[in-house]
A and B are shown apart, each in its own frame.
Chain A
Amino acid sequence: MGLQIKNGRVIDPANNIDSVQDVFIERGRIAALGKAPAGFTAKTQIDASGQIVCPGLVDLCVRLREPGFEHKGNIATESRAAAKSGVTTVCCPPDTNPVIDTPGTIEYILERAGEVGLAKVAVLGALTQGLTGKQLSEMYGLKRAGCAGVSNAYHGINSQVMRRAMEYAASAGLTVFINAEDASLRAGGCMHEGQVSMRLGLPGIPECAETIAVARELQLVELTGVRAHFCHLSTAKAAQMVANARQEGLPVTADVAVSHLFLTEMDIGFFDSNCRVKPPLRTQRDMEALRAALTQRSISAICSDHQPHDVDAKLAPFPSSEPGISAIETLLPLSLRLVEMGVLSLPGAIACITSQPAAILGLDAGRLSVGGAADICIFDPERQWDFSEAQMVSFGKNSPFIGWEFTGCVTHTLLDGKPVYQRSE
């Protein structure tokens, strides 16, 4: 009573697999690769000729907007967007409302995600209660409730509390996820401080708002021994600092948001609020350095930093529009574009959106190991399509990539062996 995916090119970077073979699935798990296991009968077959079969994508940062911001999206709408995008695990940061600082909130989110059943959700707990940067959250309790790590999102935290929080997280065996930004240097900034902010008269966020924060956290990681992950680095310098720290053996990793690999401050043009994002889009030089950091593996994951918004959030003068891009649906196609551009090999790109982010989260996901959950993405690498608002599934249509032409399109997404998305036509 199984499912057989036939004739696809199976790419599973974690297991070093890249060859045309069949995948056999039974009871939601991968039963075998290549040859059918004894007694296997295929109830269903998917013909994946000419297609790529890879682990379901693992996205390190997806705002589901639930609880608290349901006018921007919810677990159902954004899980559906994930399924359409080949993403089977999404990690949601703790800045919901209420903040994810109690086991109850984690349980609520995991239960809702389970009911919806279109994507698995990993949850980051709050590093401090209410993200206020004062009192540590009950990290052991959050861990027991299933959180994958802890983070204070973009809420500032002073050096002393950060040190204690890292020490405590290290004791609890939790990874600290860091959005590196010095809040006082950001001040009222709404875009990168540079030529374009000068021209547009928009308050800028200087490069050092990121590098100073990264420098402090690296010192504290060294002091406390905590495992730390830097979320969405935006500057060349910060990427270099993290690369150096990794070389020195510090237990740190970093990701980059996919939009930062294709857009710069210039794309804001005359105040395009869809290009307002946190951290801000930086310079061409920064963008190229972030790509190079992927090539050199000092940044090991690409995430969507998905932030769906209601229409009104962007319908305002630039400084009062809300930051964020509805980006999950562009994660795979833009990552494939990096392959086309020679930044990454195809297995390298797939690793950046599957096994490597899974490793950062400490999850047994993002790979096609026999016996493991059959979370699988099948995509047609040749298929060209235009990204339009009409076909966006996410509740948020706030994407600066609308109108871009992509090559590579998800045809099937399987979650625990169950089809949760199938391209129709």
Chain B
Amino acid sequence: MIAPNIQLDPQGRLRHLLTIEGLKRQMLIEILDAAESFTTVAGQAVKKVPLLRGKAIVNLFFESSTRTLTTFELAAKRLSADVLKVNVGTSATNKGESLLDMLRNLEAMHCDMFVVRHAESGAAHFIASKVAPHISVINAGDGRHAHPTQALLDIFTIRRHKKEFAPLTVAIVGDIMHSRVARSQIHALTTLGVSELRVVAPKTLIPSHASSLGVHVYHDLTEGIRDADVVITLRLQKERMESAQLPSEHEYFRQYGLTPEKLRAAKPDAIVMHPGPINRGVEMSSEVADGPQSVILEQVTNGIAVRMAVMSMVLGRAPEGTV
């Protein structure tokens, strides 16, 4: 008995955004199209649209973040929403207040949306299942589970460079095991129907049942990115060395780090992506990170438009029951 997908309302519209899993292709395209329309806002003299005026959005980050937090905040402000940041590191959950009590208090302040980042998989689903009906939840990363807006901005960036998804070969390189970004990218790219999706890493960083999600598993970087149109590298956490998953950053870079030489195995017009922050000399060399094929900074810029699209779609819905 699988629980219904709680992120959709009875009309099939986005009520929360918790995971890419279960979203239809049409929904993803709709989000990308909306994001496209928001890209021009940043070029205006007044970088604001009044779509969410009067709405209150709370950024609830239980785990530190720079990029995601900042782009969510900017996106909300450009939509004219009021934005509140709860610094959970110093707030009441450290004083023993339960997560649920904290949510109840924020609800009592008449907020409309929680943007949540949490170290535990399932945290966003948990919060979404407990909030009052008028509140929407956007998952800004939960444990190893999902980071849907990151995946959306990644496919948005890919679409801007490659137009069609169907002919693409995409390789995701790095720590798939612990990556919520990878899981969301895999759902997004399989839903959009890329021709081939690969994951590349030593076995210690690939979950035992990865192929059940429709990806091809490679342990050799050159083989894994051969003729790829898109190479996505993932951030490597330092803890992996301590937990016996890797011997050293040095060896990782030698085997799996992207250099201009290794990148030649991919298509000449392949783009290189990274969700940030990059460990230069670990996941890739600076020549690649700053090179002509890198679209890493574009990803950051696109993050704002994509988050504006998601927030406006979720909060801008007509009341339920009226279509």
Contacts of B212 in A (CB 8 A): 195, 198-199
Residue B180 at the chain A interface, CB threshold 8 Å: yes
Contacts of A316 in B (CB 8 A): 99, 126
Residue B291 at the chain A interface, CB threshold 8 Å: no
Residue B171 at the chain A interface, CB threshold 8 Å: no
Contacts of A197 in B (CB 8 A): 207, 209
Task: Tell me if B2 and A269 are in contact (CB < 8 A).
Answer: yes
Interface string of A306-321 (1 = CB under 8 A from B): 0000001001111110
CB distance from A18 to the nearest CB of B (A): 35
Task: Tell me if A318 and B207 are in contact (CB < 8 A).
Answer: no
Report how far A312 CA is from B130 CA in the complex, Å: 13
Contacts of B6 in A (CB 8 A): 270
Contacts of A271 in B (CB 8 A): 121-122, 125-126
Contacts of B180 in A (CB 8 A): 201
Task: Tell me if A317 and B3 are in contact (CB < 8 A).
Answer: no
Task: Tell me if B118 and A199 are in contact (CB < 8 A).
Answer: no
Residues of B within 8 A of A (CB-CB), count = 30
Residue A267 at the chain B interface, CB threshold 8 Å: yes
Contacts of B146 in A (CB 8 A): 201
Contact among A204, A272, A320 for B120, CB-based, below 8 A: A320
Residue B170 at the chain A interface, CB threshold 8 Å: no
Contacts of B126 in A (CB 8 A): 271, 316-318
Residue A381 at the chain B interface, CB threshold 8 Å: no
Task: Tell me if B144 and A203 are in contact (CB < 8 A).
Answer: yes
Chain A residues touching B, range: 20 to 34
Report how far A52 CA is from B227 CA in the complex, Å: 70
Residue B143 at the chain A interface, CB threshold 8 Å: yes
Residue A193 at the chain B interface, CB threshold 8 Å: yes
Interface string of B233-246 (1 = CB under 8 A from A): 00000000000000
Contacts of B210 in A (CB 8 A): 198
Which of A193, A194, A199, A267 has the most chain B CB within a 10 Å cutoff? A199
Task: Tell me if B123 and A194 are in contact (CB < 8 A).
Answer: no
Given contacts A202-B121, A271-B122, A272-B3, contact A193 B213 (CB under 8 A): no
Residue A17 at the chain B interface, CB threshold 8 Å: no
CB distance from B211 to the nearest CB of A (A): 9
CB distance from A317 to the nearest CB of B (A): 4
Contacts of B100 in A (CB 8 A): 315
Report how far A194 CA is from B212 CA in the complex, Å: 9
Report how far A266 CA is from B3 CA in the complex, Å: 10
Residue B98 at the chain A interface, CB threshold 8 Å: yes
Contacts of A315 in B (CB 8 A): 98, 100, 130
Task: Tell me if B213 and A319 are in contact (CB < 8 A).
Answer: no
Task: Tell me if A201 and B208 are in contact (CB < 8 A).
Answer: no
Contact among A201, A204, A267, A269 for B145, CB-based, below 8 A: A201
CB distance from B254 to the nearest CB of A (A): 28
Task: Tell me if B1 and A319 are in contact (CB < 8 A).
Answer: no
Chain A residues 190-213 with CB under 8 Å of chain B are 193-195, 197-204, 206
Pick the 9 closest A-B CB pairs, nearest first: A201-B144, A201-B145, A271-B122, A318-B122, A317-B123, A269-B3, A317-B120, A198-B209, A195-B212
What are 13 A-B interface contacts by the 8 Å CB criterion? A194-B209, A198-B212, A202-B143, A204-B207, A204-B208, A269-B1, A270-B5, A271-B126, A317-B99, A317-B118, A317-B122, A317-B123, A317-B126
Binding site for A on B (CB under 8 A): 1-3, 5-6, 21, 98-100, 118, 120-123, 125-126, 130, 142-146, 180, 183, 207-210, 212-213
